[in-house]
Structure 1
């Protein structure tokens, strides 16, 4: 099936009488509740339950192997190939399935706050609450933009359509299939709305670098003087918390591009974790949950309709999706200049990485490729000891090109714009998990603010003997003994042993990149 035939089938679907296009938030809220898809909370948020799939299904995500893109994709366990025949067959089945539904919901919008590189997207949903999710997470068009809107990519989502692996060639009943050539993302068998968000991010991560734009899994904020800071980090490292600063405006909390014009948000909303959420700990997120916010898998009192964010009965991956305008202190539009400061966040459960260190360009590229953090006991079933996690570019599941493409672009931009890069450990100090303690958030905030304000540009540093990192010897507001992790350990021999162990893990992980720049692999790596 060629692209014209795909488009014809889609047009037949979109011209049906069951199509409801560009409904407003109140209309989608009404539809979601009247159809029994969701319930309203006391604050007017829409709470939906996603069934057995409460997170992404990476083993069920495939990219169609096509002539126009197959030589560019970094194929493997993350970017799994699938044939055009499998895609075409499932696509026809899903479209025919949706034609029989009483109502189908369509949203038109954009990905990318910079008009010069934004992507026109169309989202076709079986569920009203999924369409509300798309409305809140992607960039909403003005009336004028809507009149001229053209979809560069279309998501077709049918959660209740389940594949038969024996017949359809999938791994399970669930499938997320991406055809770059036909510009379709086909989703079925899962009700988890995050698949839509991350699929579009993956598309941008394929398209933007080919336009000379670095796509990044990071948050971004900007100060009064226009100085932009980026925060890279995997789940649990504090990316959202640290980028939400009352003294700085939020550009975006998760996905950004860095072009010749500067930084821009890819999304129009936020998809925040809500586990243990409180007004005291994270007031910006707590207060952003208003009418029209989508809550996923959050426990709700059946009578008062008050959310219980501490209840993880359904999943620890409870989420809230809301437009970025629900955050008070934001940059509008969601763009900024070239970053002055880049922060790499890691939660080191081994307790051996410095709480903050300044990186050379080669070290920055090395740690960007490594993307290190730790899984903590209790966060996943079967995790009883801290486990190292290395996720390339701090978001390996979302990057279809070879990792070196993104790392080299980062290095070029660091050079061109003289950005300072820091590695910040928000994990343990004074010992490993179970012995030491978590780094105080107040200390981390003080260190990050000092880095952003330029107070660490010309301070005295000492070199970490295991990782070769430059550690400031003094930062106002932070105890001196905290700054060198070895000094914080009572048992220095135990520290040395654990540091060597982690350094070895870094070296072993980096082998997967094969032949890569000698400067990165030698000058950026741990020195033991």
Structure 2
């Protein structure tokens, strides 16, 4: 990756103003408190509110249409183009805004634990708490690495700057814009810190496949014998929760690369959902919410400042950002070998998919391209209840290239490394949203544990007549009656109708993929 010199005008601002470079977590918390940006909770976490935006704003994301990327980017509703002139105007506006701030905060770090593929990143923030956020979530360089750090991509986050759609070429006051030629990301009009994290993920999703590395929206862990498991899924499907296992070392909770050397984490921290978090259900995450952790939009009890994780008063998308080392036994550095098991997580709001099913290689490719799940409340602006969606490769909002680029890379790696693939439904059972209930986390954990341990590779299976999925007849510690979703419905005919409707949605969605092998097309649900 080419070394990047800071964009024109930014050097001068960072040299002339009062800029805090690479502060410690303690220093950033102190400054955040002094500036009234947030407050400490009873456990010492730094709690903030992000205001109007408590989730990502995907419709306000743009890529600058530049000659070097024009033919590669999969332009459309996800990858919306912005002209170079519009970007230059917005960039100048952002620099003018930075120039008016009394203080700025800079963090220099890395994205990518594997030194062969890492990206040197710089974040420029107007808020101390947002600088703490990126410090905890990205890879922190040691003193020697910091001395030689030269940013290859710069993220400028100015939440207080609103765009004018009439003059700036945006859809609203919010903007997240990537320029691959200038190697800059501009973020404004939103205080939601997750935009910074996901913007770098999008950048890596463009750069790494060109080097033969599969970039993945997944969590990963590794067992004592070196066996690696990947967990794909959209926000809220359980990636962080299920990969945080006291019996296995956490590699990372959200974003990874898979090269010829193995799997590596993109980040140095975790960004866990904490709505209805409990010490009993998720002790590792519970204990990670301490001093240095950024807690977003969690309601506190006024008298004690104890977090009320059950409250969705501000949003369902409450979050905790903490460094990997807050999880006992997390792998450092965050690199491991090739996976033996892949889990596709889906929160099925219809309640018709089985809680676990083993996939053939062709089915794995079909369900990876489909990326079916339900968007959960709060993860995106405007989503207030579960909403069925097909998110290609379980990460469509972050994929600048054509979906088949990522799918072909995955298929090649599954074949070469003989990986077992499972579909796991963490959504509803006994009916859809509103009539059924959410699958118990304890049961899901037991099913995932059995899959990762290889216990289901030679299990006895029965085939679902509509989806063609191989459903195990028994999983240790799980009631057998919940394994077949139809058995959990009070009205079997209602189940059949709903299942056929979902199968038809799968088929309709898959029509958009061109050039996919016939064997993969035939691996989907049966539609009569």
TM-score of the aligned structures, taking structure 2 as reference length: 0.95
Q: Partner residue of 1:451?
A: 451
Distance in 1 between the 2:376 and 2:115 partners? 41
Structure 1 range deviating more: 39-48 or 412-421: 39-48
Q: 1:506 to 1:165 in 2, by over 3 A?
A: same
The match for 1:291 is 291
Q: Deviations over 1:34-76 (max 9, x none)?
A: 1121222222221122121111111211100011001111111
Q: Cα gap change, 1:382/1:87 in structure 2, threshold over 3 Å: closer, same or farther?
A: closer
1:75-474 paired onto structure 2 within 5 Å: 75-375=75-375, 387-474=387-474
Hey, what does 1:34 align to over in structure 2? 34
**TM-aligned CA distance change 1:438 to 1:127, over 3 Å:** closer
Q: 1:129 to 1:360 in 2, by over 3 A?
A: same
Aligned mates of 1:315, 1:436 — CA distance in 2: 23
Quote the Cα distance in structure 2 between the aligned partners of 1:288 and 1:79. 35
Task: Indicate if the aligned counterparts of 1:218 and 1:231 stay in contact, CA closer than 8 A.
Answer: yes
Given the superposition, is the C-alpha separation of residues 287 and 376 from structure 1 closer, same or farther in structure 2, using an over 3 Å criterion? closer
How far apart are 1:14 and its partner, in Å?
2.0
Question: What CA distance in whole angstroms lies between the structure 2 residues aligned with 1:253 and 1:4?
Answer: 28
8 Å CA contact retained: 1:112, 1:267: yes
3-state DSSP of counterpart to 1:467: coil
Deviates more, 1:410-419 or 1:424-433: 424-433
Q: Alpha-carbon deviation of 1:484?
A: 2.5
CA distance in 1, matches of 2:43, 2:507: 49
> Quick check: 2:234–2:373 contact (8 Å CA) kept in 1?
yes
Distance 1:369 1:423, change over 3 A: same
Compared CA separation, residues 300 and 179, structure 1 to 2 (3 A): same
Matched-pair contact (CA < 8 Å) for 2:55–2:378:
no
Shift of 1:6: 7.1
The 1:188–1:489 alpha-carbon spacing in structure 2 relative to 1, beyond 3 Å, is closer
- d(CA) in 1 for partners of 2:84 and 2:377? 41
8 Å CA contact 1:16, 1:99 repeated in 2: no
Query: 8 Å contact 1:366–1:525 — kept in the other structure?
Result: no
- 1:9 corresponds to 2:3: no
Aligned residue in 1 for 2:504: 504
Distance in 2 between residues matched to 1:16 and 1:302, nearest whole Å: 41
CA deviations 1:329-348 (Å, max 9, x no partner) are 31121111100000111122
User: Which residue of structure 1 aligns with residue 53 of structure 2?
Assistant: 53
The 3 A distance-change label for structure 1 pair 35 and 210 is: same
For the residue of structure 2 that corresponds to 1:162, the secondary structure is coil
Question: Structure 2 vs 1, CA of residues 466 and 20 (structure 1 numbering), >3 Å: closer, same or farther?
Answer: same
**Higher mean displacement: 101-110 or 429-438:** 429-438
CA distance in 1, matches of 2:196, 2:386: 31
Return the offset for 1:179: 0.0
Instruction: State the 1:155 CA deviation.
Output: 0.4
Cα distance in 2 for residues equivalent to 1:383 and 1:269: 26
Structure 1 pair 94/375, CA: closer, same or farther in 2 (3 Å)? closer
Give the C-alpha shift of residue 379 in structure 1: 9.2
Q: CA deviation at 1:384?
A: 9.3
SS at 1:121's partner residue?
strand
Q: Structure 1 pair 478/18, CA: closer, same or farther in 2 (3 Å)?
A: same
Question: Relative to 1, partners in 2 of residues 1:496 and 1:249: Cα closer, same or farther, differing over 3 Å?
Answer: same
> Take 2:443 and 2:290, find their aligned partners in 1: how far apart are those partners?
32
2:57 and 2:381 in contact (8 A); partners too: no
Q: In structure 2, the residue corresponding to 1:520 is in which secondary structure?
A: helix
Could you list the runs of 5+ residues in structure 2 that have no partner in the other structure?
none
Tell me, in whole angstroms, the C-alpha distance in 2 between the residues paired with 1:338 and 1:139.
22
Whole-Å Cα distance in 1 between the matches of residues 386 and 148 of structure 2?
52
Distance 2:192 2:440 in 1: 34
Tell me the equivalent position of 1:482.
482
Change (3 A) 1:376 1:478: same
- Find the residue that maps to 1:512 and give its secondary structure: coil
Using a 3 Å threshold, how does the CA distance of structure 1 residues 89 and 465 change in structure 2: closer, same or farther?
Answer: same
Cα separation, 1, equivalents of 2:102 and 2:376:
45
8 Å Cα contact 1:363-1:525 kept in structure 2: no
After superposition, give the CA deviation of every residue in 1:127-178 in whole Å (9 maximum; x if it has no partner): 1111111101110000000011111100011111222222222212211111
Larger CA deviation: 300-309 vs 205-214: 300-309
**Unaligned residue ranges in structure 1 (runs of 5+):** none
Aligned-partner Cα distance in 2 for 1:226–1:270: 22
Deviates more, 1:511-520 or 1:81-90: 511-520
